[in-house]
Amino acid sequence: MRRFILIAIPFSWLLLFFLVPFIVVLKLSLSDPAIAIPPYTPTLDPSSGWAGIKSFFGQLDFDNFTFLTLDPLYYTAYLSSLKIAVISTMLTLLVAFPMAYGMARAPEQWRPTLMMLVILPFWTSFLIRVYAWVGILGKEGFLNMVLMWIGIIDEPLTILNTNIAVYIGIVYTYLPFMILPIYSTLEKLDMSLIEAAEDLGSTRAQAFWLITAPLSLPGVIAGCFLVFIPALGEFVIPSLLGGSDTLMIGKVLWDEFFANRDWPLASAVAVVLLMILIVPIILFQRNQQKQMEADQ
Protein backbone atom coordinates (compact mmCIF):
# COMPACT_ATOMS: atom_id res chain seq x y z
CA MET A 1 0.00 0.00 0.00
CA ARG A 2 2.83 2.42 0.81
CA ARG A 3 4.45 1.69 -2.54
CA PHE A 4 1.14 2.24 -4.30
CA ILE A 5 0.62 5.60 -2.55
CA LEU A 6 4.16 6.67 -3.37
CA ILE A 7 3.65 5.93 -7.07
CA ALA A 8 0.09 7.30 -7.12
CA ILE A 9 1.14 10.82 -6.08
CA PRO A 10 3.29 11.68 -9.16
CA PHE A 11 0.92 9.81 -11.48
CA SER A 12 -2.03 11.79 -10.13
CA TRP A 13 -0.07 14.99 -10.70
CA LEU A 14 0.64 14.02 -14.33
CA LEU A 15 -2.97 12.96 -14.82
CA LEU A 16 -4.30 16.27 -13.51
CA PHE A 17 -1.88 18.71 -15.13
CA PHE A 18 -0.88 16.93 -18.34
CA LEU A 19 -3.27 14.22 -19.47
CA VAL A 20 -6.51 16.12 -18.78
CA PRO A 21 -5.35 19.34 -20.54
CA PHE A 22 -4.04 17.25 -23.43
CA ILE A 23 -7.43 15.54 -23.83
CA VAL A 24 -9.08 18.98 -23.90
CA VAL A 25 -6.63 20.21 -26.57
CA LEU A 26 -7.11 16.99 -28.57
CA LYS A 27 -10.87 17.47 -28.47
CA LEU A 28 -10.47 21.08 -29.66
CA SER A 29 -8.25 19.91 -32.54
CA LEU A 30 -11.12 17.71 -33.77
CA SER A 31 -13.65 20.56 -33.56
CA ASP A 32 -14.60 23.24 -36.07
CA PRO A 33 -14.15 27.03 -35.70
CA ALA A 34 -17.25 29.07 -34.98
CA ILE A 35 -18.15 32.71 -34.36
CA ALA A 36 -19.34 32.08 -30.84
CA ILE A 37 -18.23 31.84 -27.25
CA PRO A 38 -16.36 29.52 -27.03
CA PRO A 39 -15.11 29.89 -30.65
CA TYR A 40 -15.58 26.26 -31.67
CA THR A 41 -18.20 23.58 -32.19
CA PRO A 42 -19.40 21.12 -31.06
CA THR A 43 -19.74 21.58 -27.31
CA LEU A 44 -20.78 18.78 -25.00
CA ASP A 45 -24.07 19.20 -23.16
CA PRO A 46 -24.43 16.39 -20.57
CA SER A 47 -28.08 17.28 -20.00
CA SER A 48 -28.95 16.10 -23.53
CA GLY A 49 -28.36 12.50 -22.53
CA TRP A 50 -26.88 9.70 -24.59
CA ALA A 51 -28.24 11.07 -27.87
CA GLY A 52 -26.42 14.36 -27.29
CA ILE A 53 -23.17 12.58 -26.42
CA LYS A 54 -23.46 10.43 -29.56
CA SER A 55 -24.12 13.51 -31.68
CA PHE A 56 -21.16 15.30 -30.06
CA PHE A 57 -18.67 12.59 -31.00
CA GLY A 58 -20.21 12.27 -34.45
CA GLN A 59 -19.36 15.92 -35.24
CA LEU A 60 -15.65 15.55 -34.46
CA ASP A 61 -13.39 15.23 -37.52
CA PHE A 62 -9.76 15.43 -38.67
CA ASP A 63 -10.21 18.38 -41.05
CA ASN A 64 -7.76 20.57 -39.11
CA PHE A 65 -5.00 17.97 -39.36
CA THR A 66 -5.70 17.61 -43.08
CA PHE A 67 -5.45 21.38 -43.49
CA LEU A 68 -2.01 21.35 -41.83
CA THR A 69 -0.71 19.09 -44.61
CA LEU A 70 -2.19 21.27 -47.36
CA ASP A 71 -1.05 24.74 -46.25
CA PRO A 72 2.74 25.17 -46.71
CA LEU A 73 2.88 27.67 -43.83
CA TYR A 74 2.56 24.98 -41.20
CA TYR A 75 4.94 22.29 -42.42
CA THR A 76 7.41 25.03 -43.34
CA ALA A 77 7.15 26.32 -39.76
CA TYR A 78 7.76 22.81 -38.38
CA LEU A 79 10.81 22.33 -40.61
CA SER A 80 12.15 25.80 -39.78
CA SER A 81 11.70 25.13 -36.06
CA LEU A 82 13.54 21.83 -36.39
CA LYS A 83 16.41 23.52 -38.23
CA ILE A 84 16.72 26.35 -35.70
CA ALA A 85 16.50 23.92 -32.77
CA VAL A 86 19.18 21.61 -34.21
CA ILE A 87 21.59 24.45 -35.06
CA SER A 88 21.01 26.10 -31.67
CA THR A 89 21.67 22.80 -29.91
CA MET A 90 24.95 22.31 -31.78
CA LEU A 91 26.07 25.89 -31.06
CA THR A 92 25.15 25.48 -27.39
CA LEU A 93 27.21 22.28 -27.23
CA LEU A 94 30.23 24.02 -28.77
CA VAL A 95 30.05 26.76 -26.14
CA ALA A 96 29.10 24.56 -23.17
CA PHE A 97 31.60 21.73 -23.51
CA PRO A 98 34.77 23.82 -22.95
CA MET A 99 33.08 25.56 -20.02
CA ALA A 100 32.00 22.27 -18.45
CA TYR A 101 35.46 20.78 -19.05
CA GLY A 102 37.11 23.79 -17.41
CA MET A 103 34.78 23.53 -14.42
CA ALA A 104 35.48 19.81 -14.01
CA ARG A 105 39.26 20.41 -14.14
CA ALA A 106 39.22 23.45 -11.86
CA PRO A 107 40.47 23.12 -8.27
CA GLU A 108 37.83 21.44 -6.13
CA GLN A 109 37.37 24.48 -3.87
CA TRP A 110 36.43 26.62 -6.89
CA ARG A 111 33.83 24.26 -8.36
CA PRO A 112 30.87 25.35 -6.16
CA THR A 113 31.55 28.98 -7.08
CA LEU A 114 31.70 28.16 -10.78
CA MET A 115 28.50 26.14 -10.45
CA MET A 116 26.79 29.10 -8.80
CA LEU A 117 27.89 31.39 -11.66
CA VAL A 118 26.35 28.98 -14.18
CA ILE A 119 22.96 28.92 -12.46
CA LEU A 120 23.05 32.61 -11.51
CA PRO A 121 20.99 33.72 -14.57
CA PHE A 122 18.07 31.65 -13.26
CA TRP A 123 17.75 34.13 -10.41
CA THR A 124 16.51 36.69 -12.95
CA SER A 125 13.26 36.55 -14.89
CA PHE A 126 13.53 34.74 -18.24
CA LEU A 127 11.66 37.56 -19.97
CA ILE A 128 13.97 40.24 -18.55
CA ARG A 129 17.04 38.32 -19.71
CA VAL A 130 15.68 38.07 -23.26
CA TYR A 131 14.71 41.76 -23.24
CA ALA A 132 18.28 42.60 -22.23
CA TRP A 133 19.51 41.12 -25.51
CA VAL A 134 17.27 43.54 -27.40
CA GLY A 135 19.36 46.38 -25.97
CA ILE A 136 22.63 44.53 -26.57
CA LEU A 137 22.02 43.50 -30.19
CA GLY A 138 20.25 46.64 -31.46
CA LYS A 139 21.90 48.97 -33.97
CA GLU A 140 22.61 51.40 -31.17
CA GLY A 141 23.13 48.62 -28.68
CA PHE A 142 26.09 47.74 -26.52
CA LEU A 143 27.61 45.20 -28.95
CA ASN A 144 27.73 47.57 -31.91
CA MET A 145 29.09 50.37 -29.74
CA VAL A 146 31.96 48.16 -28.51
CA LEU A 147 32.77 46.86 -32.00
CA MET A 148 32.82 50.39 -33.44
CA TRP A 149 34.92 51.67 -30.51
CA ILE A 150 37.48 48.93 -31.06
CA GLY A 151 37.50 49.65 -34.79
CA ILE A 152 36.34 46.26 -36.04
CA ILE A 153 33.38 47.78 -37.89
CA ASP A 154 32.69 51.24 -39.33
CA GLU A 155 28.91 51.14 -39.16
CA PRO A 156 26.42 49.28 -36.96
CA LEU A 157 25.62 45.68 -37.82
CA THR A 158 22.04 44.48 -38.25
CA ILE A 159 21.83 41.62 -35.77
CA LEU A 160 18.50 42.18 -34.05
CA ASN A 161 15.42 40.81 -35.84
CA THR A 162 17.44 38.13 -37.63
CA ASN A 163 17.94 34.40 -37.16
CA ILE A 164 21.41 35.14 -35.75
CA ALA A 165 19.79 36.99 -32.85
CA VAL A 166 17.49 34.01 -32.26
CA TYR A 167 20.48 31.65 -32.15
CA ILE A 168 22.26 33.96 -29.69
CA GLY A 169 19.17 34.16 -27.48
CA ILE A 170 18.60 30.39 -27.43
CA VAL A 171 22.27 29.60 -26.78
CA TYR A 172 22.44 32.10 -23.93
CA THR A 173 19.14 31.02 -22.39
CA TYR A 174 19.66 27.27 -22.50
CA LEU A 175 23.43 27.19 -21.94
CA PRO A 176 23.13 26.05 -18.28
CA PHE A 177 20.98 23.09 -19.37
CA MET A 178 23.89 21.92 -21.53
CA ILE A 179 26.70 22.72 -19.09
CA LEU A 180 25.29 20.98 -16.01
CA PRO A 181 24.85 17.41 -17.36
CA ILE A 182 28.21 17.55 -19.18
CA TYR A 183 29.93 18.85 -16.05
CA SER A 184 28.27 16.13 -13.96
CA THR A 185 29.70 13.48 -16.31
CA LEU A 186 33.17 15.00 -16.62
CA GLU A 187 33.49 15.47 -12.86
CA LYS A 188 33.20 11.68 -12.38
CA LEU A 189 35.85 10.98 -15.03
CA ASP A 190 38.83 9.01 -13.71
CA MET A 191 41.89 11.13 -14.57
CA SER A 192 44.14 8.08 -14.23
CA LEU A 193 42.75 6.84 -17.57
CA ILE A 194 44.02 9.96 -19.33
CA GLU A 195 47.38 9.71 -17.56
CA ALA A 196 47.66 6.07 -18.63
CA ALA A 197 46.90 6.98 -22.24
CA GLU A 198 49.57 9.68 -22.19
CA ASP A 199 52.07 7.26 -20.64
CA LEU A 200 51.36 4.84 -23.50
CA GLY A 201 52.28 7.49 -26.09
CA SER A 202 49.03 9.36 -26.76
CA THR A 203 49.10 13.11 -27.07
CA ARG A 204 46.69 15.22 -25.03
CA ALA A 205 44.46 15.67 -28.09
CA GLN A 206 44.43 11.93 -28.79
CA ALA A 207 43.70 11.15 -25.13
CA PHE A 208 40.82 13.62 -25.22
CA TRP A 209 39.20 12.08 -28.31
CA LEU A 210 39.84 8.48 -27.24
CA ILE A 211 38.87 8.77 -23.57
CA THR A 212 37.28 12.06 -22.49
CA ALA A 213 34.93 12.49 -25.45
CA PRO A 214 33.44 8.93 -25.38
CA LEU A 215 33.04 8.92 -21.58
CA SER A 216 31.34 12.34 -21.64
CA LEU A 217 28.82 11.17 -24.24
CA PRO A 218 25.98 10.49 -21.73
CA GLY A 219 26.17 14.07 -20.47
CA VAL A 220 26.37 15.43 -24.01
CA ILE A 221 23.29 13.46 -25.08
CA ALA A 222 21.33 14.57 -22.01
CA GLY A 223 22.33 18.20 -22.54
CA CYS A 224 21.38 18.11 -26.22
CA PHE A 225 17.92 16.77 -25.38
CA LEU A 226 17.44 19.36 -22.61
CA VAL A 227 18.20 22.15 -25.11
CA PHE A 228 16.55 20.75 -28.24
CA ILE A 229 13.17 19.90 -26.69
CA PRO A 230 12.28 23.39 -25.35
CA ALA A 231 14.02 25.18 -28.25
CA LEU A 232 11.77 23.42 -30.77
CA GLY A 233 8.63 25.04 -29.36
CA GLU A 234 10.25 28.34 -28.32
CA PHE A 235 8.02 31.40 -28.63
CA VAL A 236 9.41 34.28 -26.55
CA ILE A 237 12.92 34.39 -28.07
CA PRO A 238 11.88 34.40 -31.75
CA SER A 239 9.12 36.92 -30.98
CA LEU A 240 11.47 39.41 -29.27
CA LEU A 241 14.74 38.82 -31.12
CA GLY A 242 13.62 37.36 -34.46
CA GLY A 243 12.31 39.23 -37.48
CA SER A 244 9.57 38.62 -39.99
CA ASP A 245 11.70 35.97 -41.71
CA THR A 246 12.03 33.96 -38.50
CA LEU A 247 9.34 31.31 -38.76
CA MET A 248 8.89 29.02 -35.77
CA ILE A 249 5.92 26.91 -34.84
CA GLY A 250 5.59 28.61 -31.44
CA LYS A 251 4.85 31.94 -33.12
CA VAL A 252 2.39 30.28 -35.52
CA LEU A 253 0.66 28.61 -32.58
CA TRP A 254 0.31 31.93 -30.72
CA ASP A 255 -1.04 33.69 -33.83
CA GLU A 256 -3.68 31.02 -34.39
CA PHE A 257 -4.87 31.13 -30.79
CA PHE A 258 -4.86 34.88 -30.12
CA ALA A 259 -4.72 36.72 -33.45
CA ASN A 260 -6.92 34.49 -35.64
CA ARG A 261 -8.86 32.97 -32.71
CA ASP A 262 -8.92 29.67 -34.56
CA TRP A 263 -8.71 27.44 -31.50
CA PRO A 264 -9.34 24.13 -33.31
CA LEU A 265 -6.53 24.69 -35.83
CA ALA A 266 -4.19 25.97 -33.11
CA SER A 267 -4.95 22.87 -31.06
CA ALA A 268 -4.13 20.67 -34.07
CA VAL A 269 -0.79 22.51 -34.41
CA ALA A 270 -0.10 21.89 -30.71
CA VAL A 271 -0.99 18.19 -30.93
CA VAL A 272 1.35 17.65 -33.89
CA LEU A 273 4.11 19.54 -32.08
CA LEU A 274 3.64 17.29 -29.05
CA MET A 275 3.77 14.20 -31.24
CA ILE A 276 7.08 15.43 -32.68
CA LEU A 277 8.46 16.07 -29.19
CA ILE A 278 7.47 12.65 -27.89
CA VAL A 279 10.30 11.01 -29.84
CA PRO A 280 13.19 12.99 -28.27
CA ILE A 281 11.50 12.82 -24.86
CA ILE A 282 11.35 9.01 -25.01
CA LEU A 283 14.97 8.87 -26.21
CA PHE A 284 16.00 11.19 -23.38
CA GLN A 285 14.25 9.00 -20.81
CA ARG A 286 15.93 5.88 -22.16
CA ASN A 287 19.32 7.61 -22.07
CA GLN A 288 18.76 8.66 -18.46
CA GLN A 289 17.69 5.12 -17.52
CA LYS A 290 20.79 3.62 -19.14
CA GLN A 291 22.99 6.14 -17.36
CA MET A 292 21.41 5.32 -14.00
CA GLU A 293 21.90 1.59 -14.62
CA ALA A 294 25.52 2.20 -15.57
CA ASP A 295 26.14 4.21 -12.40
CA GLN A 296 24.73 1.38 -10.31
Per-residue pLDDT tens digits for 117-164: 999 888 888 888 998 999 899 888 888 898 888 888 888 888 888 999
How many residues comprise the chain?
Answer: 296
Q: What integer pLDDT is reported at residue 295 of this predicted model?
A: 65
Is residue 190 classed exposed, middle or buried when 0-12, 13-18 and 19+ CB atoms within 10 A define those classes? exposed
The CA distance from 19 to 6, in Å, is 19
The CA distance from 182 to 104, in Å, is 9
The CA distance from 74 to 253, in Å, is 10
Q: What integer pLDDT is reported at residue 296 of this predicted model?
A: 62
The CA distance from 71 to 93, in Å, is 34
Q: Would you list the DSSP string of 28-81?
A: HHTSEE-SSSSSEE----GGGHHHHHHHHHHT--SHHHHHHHH-HHHHHHHHHH
Per-residue pLDDT tens digits for 89-102: 999 999 999 999 99
Domains and their CATH numbers in the chain: 64-295 (1.10.3720.10)
Q: What integer pLDDT is reported at residue 203 of this predicted model?
A: 82
List the beta bridge partners of residue 41: 32
Q: What is the pTM of this model?
A: 0.86
What is the distance in angstroms between the CA of the first residue and the CA of the last residue of the chain?
27
Tens place of pLDDT per residue across the chain (296 aa): 778 888 888 888 888 888 888 888 999 999 988 887 788 888 877 777 777 778 878 888 899 999 998 889 898 999 999 999 999 999 999 999 999 999 988 888 898 899 999 998 888 888 889 989 998 998 888 888 988 888 888 888 888 889 999 999 999 999 999 999 999 998 888 878 888 887 788 888 888 888 888 888 889 998 998 999 999 989 889 988 988 788 899 889 988 888 888 899 999 999 999 888 888 888 877 877 777 776 66
Close Cβ partners of 283 (under 8 Å, ≥ 6 residues apart)? 225
Q: What integer pLDDT is reported at residue 207 of this predicted model?
A: 84
